[in-house]
Chains A and B, each alone.
Chain A
Amino acid sequence: DQQVKQNSPSLSVQEGRISILNCDYTNSMFDYFLWYKKYPAEGPTFLISISSIKDKNEDGRFTVFLNKSAKHLSLHIVPSQPGDSAVYFCAADNTDKLIFGTGTRLQVFP
């Protein structure tokens, strides 16, 4: 049973617009949620995280929103840039291990 789900395998957004990547989870006991970005032939790179006691965390162009009642989080990228084209993974912290979603491939076109 998959505890962290990213239901959209891909997303295409025009440069300068907002990209919204979504993630759903099933376990209400998760402490932290994280977003990673992965380019081809590289390992995942940590982007931003949010504690379960918060509902928003912002870092530059990246903002993560957490809706605990809906067990849903989202990553907003604004404005989107071509260099943001990558696979984005959400992950949930379960005590001392991370549980990952399957990823969403974001393509930002000019």
Chain B
Amino acid sequence: ETGVTQTPRHLVMGMTNKKSLKCEQHLGHNAMYWYKQSAKKPLELMFVYSLEERVENNSVPSRFSPECPNSSHLFLHLHTLQPEDSALYLCASSQDRLAGGPEQFFGPGTRLTVL
């Protein structure tokens, strides 16, 4: 595997379900991100982890819960979601700013539909 991978690619869930999105990066980076992309809106940053510590949480509802067990893996745990949470969820990674530039590298995304 190369680059940034995400599983599953598509997910349909009911409002009472619990599911998790997984992201893995094979680039040796030490910062990872979750973004949400809704139709006709800019990418919205949800969470940032740098060196496995959460450094940013953009006022995301608690029904989204991130986990970063090591610098290569990032999870987004989902529970009691709402239909308006349906979107494309993108994971990205980068070097931290002390080690490299601002470029972030994205996975293919998980298309989430909440019924």
Contact = CB atoms under 8 A, between A and B. Distances in A.
A45 B45 CA distance: 17
Interface of B: 4, 6, 31, 33, 40-43, 45, 48, 50, 55-56, 90, 92, 96-97, 101-109
Q: Is the interface of A mostly helix, strand, loop or mixed?
A: strand
A96 B48 CA distance: 9
A42 B92 CA distance: 12
Nearest to B106: A43
A42 B108 contact: yes
B42 A2 contact: yes
B102 A100 contact: no
Nearest to A48: B103
Contacts of A34: 102-103
A31 B41 contact: no
Interface of A: 2, 4, 31-32, 34, 36, 41-46, 49, 89, 93, 95-103
B43 A100 contact: yes
Given A42-B108, A43-B107, A97-B48, 6 more contacts: A43-B106, A46-B105, A89-B43, A96-B31, A96-B96, A100-B43
16 contacts: A31-B102, A34-B103, A43-B106, A43-B109, A44-B43, A45-B106, A46-B103, A46-B104, A46-B105, A49-B102, A49-B103, A89-B42, A97-B48, A98-B104, A101-B42, A103-B42
A28 B56 CA distance: 22
A57 B72 CA distance: 31
Given A32-B101, A49-B101, A98 B106 contact: no
Nearest to A3: B42
Given A34-B102, A44-B106, A98 B41 contact: no
Nearest to A45: B106
A102 B41 contact: yes
